[in-house]
Amino acid sequence: MAMGNTTKTFMFMAAMVALFMVVGQALGGRQGMMAALVMAVAMNFFAYWFSDSLALRMNGAVEIAYQDAPDLYQLISSLASRAGLPMPKVCVVDSDTPNAFATGRDPDHAAVAVTTGLIRLMNRDELAGVIAHELGHIKNRDILISSISATMAGAISYLATMAQWSMLFGGRSQDGEGGGNPLAAIISMIVAPVAASLIQMAISRSREYQADATGAAICGSPRSLAQALGNLENYNRQLPMAVNPASAQMYIVNPLAGGQLASLFSTHPPIQERIQRLLAMGGR
């Protein structure tokens, strides 16, 4: 499992480098492609080492001490011990909407973040199921790719902005290739974010199913996690969170409001499918 997710991480990073280079070529010819390559490599390096702290900052997650929430600490400590994991950092996001995410490059540098709404609205079994799901991400070692994808998706949005400015003010590159091409800029503005979303979606959907299964095994109650997912989905539809879209895929359920079209590009698998799989595990 860990090796498979490590491979996926490097495949994702390589795909993002290729996407950066294609956009750079479209905007600035050979020089633009090389500049994009340098930018992509730098972003990957930054994302590997610092994406966890950036993800926490992007989502307003604040680390808390044991005395701030002893019950929460004890629950996380107990579940982490059951999963054979070191105690992660515990962070809280000030939001009435119940949700949670995990981040970090490995189990020794991991953090679990929960919203104040999650603590207030979930019963203990549901809270245990949600936290176990996040510990499942840590155990499966897929939190790195989640953090990297959030960072890189933000960078892709920046590239789209560059394309917009290039269309308005760009001139041709010195090698006469592609720079300032309005058609190339328009295509880049549309294709780059969509491509980044599709790459995220392909990786993130499978990791949610894996984390559900691992989390159910950790907490010992697939039904509790299934019930929590159903409640979380309802709450997040009624009261969407104001989060950066690039980091939405990190949460246990989609924190953003979206219509039918948006759901086609969602990085989260359908909640009902996740619930059915969990209930089937409970039946076994």
Q: Which residues are catalytic?
A: 134
Buried b (16+ CB within 10 A) or exposed e, 133-168: bbbbbbbbbbbbbbbbbbbbbbbbbebbebbeebbe
| Calpha distance 157→50 (Å, rounded) | 19
Residue 164 φ/ψ, nearest 5 degrees: -65, -45
CA dihedral sign, ordered 101, 201, 50, 7 = positive
| Calpha distance 137→213 (Å, rounded) | 10
| Calpha distance 51→43 (Å, rounded) | 10
Integer angstrom CA distances of residue 245 from 114, 222, 254: 18, 29, 10
DSSP state, 86? P
DSSP three-state, residue 247: helix
Mind giving me the DSSP string for 31-78? HHHHHHHHHHHHHHHHHHHHHHHHHHHHTTEEE--GGG-HHHHHHHHH
Q: Sheet holding 110-115: strands in order across?
A: 61-63, 89-93, 110-115, 100-104
DSSP state, 117? H
Place of tokens 């290729």: 18
Integer angstrom CA distances of residue 177 from 2, 16, 163, 164, 181: 42, 22, 15, 18, 9
